[in-house]
């Protein structure tokens, strides 16, 4: 529940329950809790089913059992549905001949159908009303590819109902025939042996079939080969279907519905795979089962039992709809021109671009199923011609925006229109998703047309304006121009990911509680989670300012900086925009907004995902000689500049007029870079020292792995230049033989740690010592930088020679000691101070990947130290131009973030291993960050909440979750959960240690002892996956990141 009382839409489920691994039949009809709508309206599942006049069903994985035949009761359920007045449609990737084979007892000639993923559409009397074919050049290109890659895959061609392969002896040539009962394929005359094989003249569909292991190699090649000429969809783990453009089950179903005089508003669809996503999202009632719940992340109204249950999911669905139709009678006129009742809320959308179209699509889907909204959603489209035809006409005719959202269906209740006044007239909610220049024109045009009782919702992130030496919010401009209240909705929402149905989250800013409820019901979905705040300006402020940070992230990528540098730059940008907000907008600069989706989630996904601002800045940094427009055309295929460029210019102009450039080095440096006054490489030159000098000391570095060696390089260089420190630094090295030589000998002679950090020269003042006692003797600063597994034995050896007053600093990440079942917690720094009998051990943590630090790429770290004199001394020891150190007195906060982020990094690796979208991963990281903060606060109430914004918090989390070893190993685990963590560590880390799983065990003990499972569901779910109690996918379904989750973590 977000600030302001957000709500999450609950999916309907069966009253029946799982028992002993099987589905136990309960009620005969599908039921759910009644949906309580804002304003007191209520709609039960039976009422919703009574609106269904057409049911479109996938076959494999849905209607058919694993044995490729209809489940028990299927034929009878279809017949009963038809007797009640329903129309049953088949929607499948199979051709008609294959469908006849598997649909035993069902005469497909008597059912309208969509075959080969929309390539063939059959009318109610068996007539063909659509037949698409692939362009000959695509067929030839795929055959040529197949001839060169016979070791990877086989090529199958379908001409209407006849199947062909190039060579029936190939390993995968007969896969569809043997395993899915497709017709036996014929061999193309001439086959691979002929220079010109006789390929069928009219190829409706082609399939590339390979092993699941080869699919990651094959799929990108096929997509690149057919790009812009055809489209591909993966229907099985072994199969890619290639079809004509604009050919999907959804488009085929639309053609079929038009032919039989029905609309999507009276249609239900059921499916289980990626191929079914568009079909599910284009109809009024969507029902997901099997892989569709997890794989497609679709926002289904209902989640069904699988097709192998007794009875199967489709049978349950058919019986439930039939029962509703018989009990209540049809509740909605099936005519496509059906008009909904008067007096309900009318919604209008302004903007049909790459973001505006997915927004309109979400809104229209809600309008179809929520009776408080008028069914029709008007969409204003700018006067635009695409491929010789008006874009608005194409949307209305084909139910697709071919220019800005190709391949995705828009619901039937969207009506595109070029007349802005007509769209605005009678609208109760006006949603603006347009650029600032177009918006100004729109506001002038519709100003006298808008109802005085209407409200506006701004979803564009580029509306910050400058005028009269003041900055004005876009929502303020809209409110002033139209004279109506305005809300905003913004968050981590890359348009392509949202269109694909991947999980994303956003924040609604609205002052009116009743309007908040109404807007949440319009937007909040299982795969689009919306929380709310009561300050529109707070939400808009951070969402707009973050575009500058995403430009900086792109500059980092263009230069080739590593994740250390990029994470540090992103964190610096976040801190500076927060500072800017507090200084100039103190009433709107809500800390809650920064920690909501409009803050961190949006910041992360726009800086690390494929946002327009980041992509443009990356290309610009690679070639600053090109004009801005040329860069935009090259990388975005659009001459319009991304919004971040104008916002940087406007904000810097404002800062300069206020004479505070020196207070905002991040904004000032970005401005100078995009204006070509400074080179992109100067981005890191804005960091300034933040602490004062101290006295000299002798230093010993305890640890010589890759991180220990990297930090020794910094320490060695720093003490070599400062008279305050003794120039020689002792580095304890665990002795081992490398190519017949002692590692200490190699380091002291060749000045390189060839085992753990090869290719990087060590300063000559670093002396490798194999005996830790010798290394520590006489030193009064001890730098602990070794795997925590070896800390206890080291402390036993050196404790007798450590003198009082010695300063210790721990760079050991993830070391916590949990005893007595989670009751007792000791951090690594506490253990060190206690064992060495010194007052305190400081902590240094941050976004630090060893190789990047050693390379000299800019990175940051946070020094946790409560003793001021020690803090100053340690800062001088570590801080340098490429390694910026900030200090805080929150020792335990700094240390625990360094450990807990390893647990969240496992979830990040699971995201990558499962192929989840950038939006979803960003949302997971934000949730992990909040749960880390909550746990630290529970363990150490004196910890400082703002520590999360330091390098040890957000920046370290970003680096670890996009590049660290825990993420890497978790990715491998997600792809093959049968492996043990020990096997993965040995295979992938080559002697380095994996901290995440062991830390996860300790963290869960702390959570369980303090009864925090309900407050920390993500951390708890990660532990469940690590211990194999649940799957990696369940981490996300149980936490609402993917649809179809169930509570599995209560025990």
Angle at 914 between CA 911 and CA 917, to 5 degrees: 55
Alpha-carbon span 771 to 663, nearest angstrom: 49
Helical segments of 848-955, H only? 850-855, 868-878, 891-914, 918-939
Residues forming a β-bridge with 845: 862
Torsions phi, psi of 590, nearest 5?
-80, 130
For 157, how many CA atoms within 13 A lie in the half-sphere containing its CB? 28
480: left (phi over 0), alpha (psi -120 to 50) or beta: alpha
Strands 766-769 and 729-732: parallel
With 0-12 / 13-18 / 19 or more C-beta atoms within 10 angstroms meaning exposed / middle / buried, residue 705 is buried
Q: How many helices (DSSP H) and strands (DSSP E) are in the chain?
A: 40, 44
Contacts of 101-106 with CB under 8 Å at 24 or more apart are 101/181, 101/182, 101/183, 102/59, 102/64, 102/68, 102/69, 102/180, 102/181, 103/59, 103/70, 104/69, 104/70, 105/70, 105/74, 105/75, 106/70, 106/74, 106/75, 106/78
Beta carbons within 8 Å of 563's beta carbon, 6+ residues apart: 847, 849, 852, 958, 959, 962, 963
Task: Please pick, among 378, 622, 755, 901, the residue that the annotation labels catalytic.
Answer: 901
Alpha-carbon span 588 to 539, nearest angstrom: 8
Q: Which helix (H) or strand (E) holds 429?
A: strand 429-432
Q: What is the DSSP letter of 332?
A: S
457: left (phi over 0), alpha (psi -120 to 50) or beta: beta
Residue 835 CA, chain-centre distance (Å), reads 44
Tell me if 593 sits within 8 A of 507, measured CB to CB: yes
Tell me if 232 sits within 8 A of 215, measured CB to CB: no
Active site residue 698: no
Q: How far apart are the first and last CA of the chain?
A: 23
Torsions phi, psi of 511, nearest 5?
-80, -25
Tell me if 340 sits within 8 A of 374, measured CB to CB: yes
**Per-residue DSSP letters for 182-209?**
PPPPEEPTTGGGSSS----SS--EEEEE
User: 649-678 in b/e burial notation, b at 16+ Cβ within 10 A?
Assistant: ebbbebbeeeeeeeebebbbbbbbbbeeeb
Alpha-carbon span 431 to 498, nearest angstrom: 17
Alpha-carbon span 485 to 533, nearest angstrom: 15
Neighbours of 963 (CB within 10 A): 20
Peptide bond into 311 cis (omega under 30): yes
Alpha-carbon span 597 to 615, nearest angstrom: 21
- Which residue numbers are catalytic? 901
């Amino acid at each position: 529940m977000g600030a302001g009382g957000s709500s999450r839409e609950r999916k309907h489920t069966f009253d029946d329950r799982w028992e002993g691994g099987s589905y136990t039949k309960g009620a005969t009809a599908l039921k759910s809790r009644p949906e309580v709508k804002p304003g007191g309206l209520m709609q039960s599942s039976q009422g919703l089913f009574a609106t269904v006049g057409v049911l479109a069903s996938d076959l494999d994985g849905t209607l058919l059992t694993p044995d490729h035949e209809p489940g028990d009761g299927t034929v009878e359920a279809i017949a009963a549905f038809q007797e009640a007045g329903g129309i049953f449609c088949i929607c499948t990737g199979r051709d008609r001949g294959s469908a006849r084979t598997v649909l035993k007892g069902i005469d497909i000639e008597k059912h309208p159908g969509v075959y080969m993923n929309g390539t063939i559409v059959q009318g109610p009397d068996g007539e063909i009303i659509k037949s698409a074919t692939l362009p000959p050049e695509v067929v030839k290109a795929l055959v040529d590819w197949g001839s060169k890659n016979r070791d990877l895959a086989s090529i199958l061609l379908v001409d209407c109902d006849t199947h062909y392969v190039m060579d029936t002896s190939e390993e995968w040539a007969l896969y569809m025939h043997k395993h899915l009962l497709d017709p036996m394929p014929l061999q193309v005359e001439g086959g691979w042996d002929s220079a010109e094989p006789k390929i069928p003249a009219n190829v409706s569909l082609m399939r590339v079939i390979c092993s699941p292991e080869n699919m990651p190699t094959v799929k990108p090649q096929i997509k690149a080969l057919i790009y812009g000429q055809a489209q591909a969809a993966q229907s099985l783990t072994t199969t890619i279907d290639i079809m004509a453009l604009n050919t999907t089950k959804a488009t085929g179903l639309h053609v079929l519905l038009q032919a039989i005089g029905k609309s999507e508003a009276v249609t239900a669809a059921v499916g289980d795979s990626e191929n079914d996503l568009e079909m599910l999202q284009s109809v009024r009632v969507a029902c997901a089962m099997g892989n569709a719940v997890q794989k497609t992340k679709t926002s289904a109204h209902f989640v069904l039992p699988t097709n192998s249950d007794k009875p199967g999911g489709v049978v349950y669905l058919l019986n439930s709809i039939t029962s509703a139709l018989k009990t209540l009678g049809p509740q909605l006129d099936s005519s496509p021109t059906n008009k909904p009742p008067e007096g309900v809320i009318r919604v209008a959308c302004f903007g049909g671009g790459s973001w505006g179209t997915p927004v309109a699509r979400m809104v229209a889907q809600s309008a179809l199923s929520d009776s408080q909204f008028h069914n029709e959603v008007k969409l204003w489209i700018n006067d635009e011609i695409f491929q010789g035809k008006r874009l608005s006409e194409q949307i209305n005719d084909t139910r697709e925006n071919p220019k800005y959202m190709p391949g995705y269906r828009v619901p039937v209740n969207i009506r595109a229109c070029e007349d802005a006044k007509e769209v605005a007239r009678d609208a109760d909610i006006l949603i603006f998703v347009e650029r600032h220049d177009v918006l100004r024109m729109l506001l002038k045009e519709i100003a006298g047309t808008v109802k005085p009782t209407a409200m506006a919702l701004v979803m564009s992130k580029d509306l910050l304006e400058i005028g009269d030496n003041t900055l004005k919010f876009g929502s303020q401009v809209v409110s002033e121009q139209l004279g109506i209240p305005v809300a905003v909705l913004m968050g981590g929402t890359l348009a392509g990911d949202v269109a694909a149905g991947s999980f994303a989250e956003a924040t609604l800013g609205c002052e009116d509680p009743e309007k908040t409820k109404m807007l949440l019901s319009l937007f909040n979905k299982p795969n689009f989670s919306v929380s709310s705040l009561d300050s529109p300006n707070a939400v808009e402020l951070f969402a707009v300012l973050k575009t500058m940070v995403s430009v900086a992230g792109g500059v980092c990528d263009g230069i080739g900086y590593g994740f250390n540098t990029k994470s540090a730059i992103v964190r610096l940008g976040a801190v500076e925009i927060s500072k800017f907000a507090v200084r100039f907008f103190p009433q709107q600069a809500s800390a809650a907004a920064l920690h909501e989706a409009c803050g961190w989630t949006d910041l992360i996904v726009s800086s690390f995902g494929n946002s327009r601002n980041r992509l443009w800045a990356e290309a610009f940094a690679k070639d600053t000689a090109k004009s801005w427009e040329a860069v935009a055309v090259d990388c975005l295929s659009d001459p319009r500049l991304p919004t971040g460029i104008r916002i940087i210019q406007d904000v810097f102009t404002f800062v300069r007029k206020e004479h505070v450039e020196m207070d905002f080095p991040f904004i000032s440096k970005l401005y100078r870079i995009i204006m070509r006054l400074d080179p992109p490489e100067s981005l890191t030159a804005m960091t300034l020292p933040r602490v004062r000098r101290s006295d000299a000391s002798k230093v010993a570095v305890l640890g010589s792995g890759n991180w220990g060696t990297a930090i020794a390089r910094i320490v060695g260089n720093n003490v070599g230049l400062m008279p305050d420190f003794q120039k020689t630094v002792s580095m304890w090295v665990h002795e081992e033989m490398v190519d017949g030589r002692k590692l200490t000998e190699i380091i002291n002679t060749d000045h390189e740690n060839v085992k753990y950090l090869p290719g990087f020269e060590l300063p000559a003042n670093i002396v490798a010592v194999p005996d830790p006692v010798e290394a520590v003797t006489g030193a009064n600063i001890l730098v602990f930088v070794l795997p925590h597994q070896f800390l206890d034995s080291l402390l036993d050896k050196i404790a007798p020679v450590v003198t009082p007053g010695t300063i210790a600093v721990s760079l050991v990440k993830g070391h916590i000691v949990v005893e007595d079942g989670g009751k007792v917690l000791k951090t690594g720094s506490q253990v060190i101070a206690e064992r060495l009998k010194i007052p305190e051990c400081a902590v240094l943590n941050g976004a630090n990947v060893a190789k990047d630090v050693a390379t000299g790429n800019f990175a940051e770290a946070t020094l946790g130290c409560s003793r001021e004199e020690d803090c100053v001394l340690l800062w001088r020891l570590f801080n340098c131009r490429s390694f910026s150190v900030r200090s805080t007195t929150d020792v335990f906060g700094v240390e625990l973030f360094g450990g807990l982020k390893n647990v969240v990094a496992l979830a990040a690796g699971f995201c990558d291993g499962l192929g989840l979208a950038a939006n979803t991963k960003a949302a997971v990281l934000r949730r992990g960050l909040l749960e880390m903060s909550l746990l630290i606060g529970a363990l150490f109430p004196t910890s400082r909440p703002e520590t999360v914004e330091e390098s040890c918090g957000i920046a370290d989390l970003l680096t670890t979750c996009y590049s660290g070893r825990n993420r890497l190993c978790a990715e491998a685990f997600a792809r093959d959960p049968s492996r043990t963590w020990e096997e993965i560590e040995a295979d992938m880390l080559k002697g380095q240690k994996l901290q995440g799983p062991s830390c996860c065990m300790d963290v869960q003990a702390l959570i369980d002892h303090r009864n925090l499972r309900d407050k920390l569901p993500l951390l708890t779910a990660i532990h469940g996956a690590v211990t194999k109690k649940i799957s990696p996918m369940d981490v996300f379904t149980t936490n609402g990141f993917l649809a179809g989750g169930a509570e599995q973590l209560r025990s």
